[in-house]
Structure 1
Amino acid sequence: MSLKDALGHYLEVRDGRKDARFLEAKATPASFNRESDTSELWREHERIEQGFECSGECRRSFLDLKIEIAERMLRKCSLCHWRCGVDRNLNPGRCGVTSPRVASEFLHYGEEAPLVPSHTIFFSGCTMNCVFCQNWDISQNPSVGVSIPEDRLAALIEERRRRGSANVNFVGGDPTPALPYILCVLRRISISVPVVWNSNMYLSQESMRLLSGIVDLYLTDFKFGNSDCALKLAGVGNYFEVVSENHLRIRGEDMIIRHLVIPGHIECCTKPIISWVADNLGKDTVMNIMGQYRPLYRASWYPELNRYPSREELEEARRWALREGIENLI
């Protein structure tokens, strides 16, 4: 399968031949009310996912339903795998985030070619604590940036799209703590803009369900090939199990998997990830094996990380991908 075929849905939306999925969710009727039990809301969500038509009073949309569920999740937060249970309307969660803050937004010309120019919106805060984080100044400082009203950000996204952006790219840090806010922003957008979810994929199952039918392309960050390295270097448990399972949930969707080559971690991380992708997601999966690692943040605390990846390591990573039959390397 060619790159064009692997990203077929996204490219059609990008080029105006198909509506973005969030517009379809806005146009899909849903029947619920604010007094409904959360389990009832999930049953309605599943009914719509299975293609059943709305019965009864259908004054709301599928997107409205997702927002209602997301806002309830926020009150006892279970948006990411930490499931810290904090009411994030009042207090910061494990991610450090209360109300989302935008650290920056701009047209990004350094993303993968099919995404350029990408209207990239960086949120402060993160669900992980990578000791070598390349964006540590915003990921580890949830208070930086500004709060932007939903309608204002929606208007900005529309303006960027009219002026030629290829998509809106929600990133960070990580966008997961801002999921309810992002859904509310999308509800206010009236034109078709491809939605790119640019994430570490350490999400809960419920958040993955809310993203289904909204995201046009997943731009994933698959760093660690085992949970021991993730616990040591990012402070998260069950990493490989969670992130691999979330990738399986989006199998068949348009995605680009990024893997940052970490010095000294070819055998334990790079090769296992590439092999897992080839075996479980398919050899036509689009991958970007990245050599942009820099010894930033607290990398100097770990001697093996306090250097750039060698040329030999980067070449070995690419050779392994070709050996495993990965067809779409970008």
Structure 2
Amino acid sequence: MKKLCWVLKRSISINSCLNCQYRQIKNMVNTEAVEAMKAAKAIVPSLRDDGHKGSSGRIGVVGGSLEYTGAPYFAAISAFRVGCDLSHVFCCKEAAPVIKSYSPDLIVHPVLDAPDAPDQVFPWLERLHVLVVGPGLGRNPKILDSTARIVEAWRSEKKPLVVDADGLFLAGKYPDILRNYPGILVVTPNVVEFPRLVKTFCETSGSEEDKTVQAKCLSQELGQFSAILQKGQEDTITSSEGCVWAVKAGGSPRRCGGQGDLLSGSLATFLYWASQTAPPEKAGLVAAYAACKLIRDCNSRAFAEKGRGAITSDMLHYIPAVFNCLFEK
């Protein structure tokens, strides 16, 4: 009987300890989320009557080919919906009329497959605040070469850069355009693209299971102001300082194409705002967190309404309402 009482007391003691540890971990996670959201809200500029066209950001998207017209559109229009003032798309000639037909709000440049594409794009770079490279870019070797030259020119400007989709494939072929990037850089690999990036940039990357170690290695190789946004069931953002933020809430089981383009485009606008208000080593981390929260919540709402039939256009529709709920209240 005494032994049984001792076992029960011991069990209660262990359970109490475990419950205490659980509450501590939960409180730590909640505190981190609160601090991250506070930082995200802090970068959003107020709308003022004395603003001018461009004061909230001028975004450029490099991508768009004969096969892929939706990706650059979703990236550019989501940047616009989040709140930038001007949104440009630099695409192939065949893609331009299609992208223009999607929206008259975008400025579309049909130059990417021209023999002198870089020379045609260079004059625009000084007017832009953030460049997004990759959505719908395709893998035509000539276009990839031209895009690499555009990124090299952008690199010399030391301006914020977002690299997504085929832009990550480009980085695998031309790693020096991203290695030790001198400005603020955010790369957005999915579960397939992430190990390829690690293999390209990291000599010692840790075990395959240790994604945190790999992400820290990758961010350090890409530059002191870089951030790695690993997309997945939960999104994980790692800064070159080793700070790691996770975004778990929202999202849905729907995995239709185009969601990553909404993320990269909205990230571009947040990144410009963060570059104006946050320390450069934190700007990518905060902007990526804000974009993940926004798009995951848009995804969640669209899925609640449309279920299995939800598509990226439905998610795009929710950006204004979700933005207002997350960042304006």
Q: Please give the TM-score of this superposition, normalised by the length of structure 1.
A: 0.34
Q: Please give the TM-score of this superposition, normalised by the length of structure 2.
A: 0.34
Higher gyration radius (CA): 2
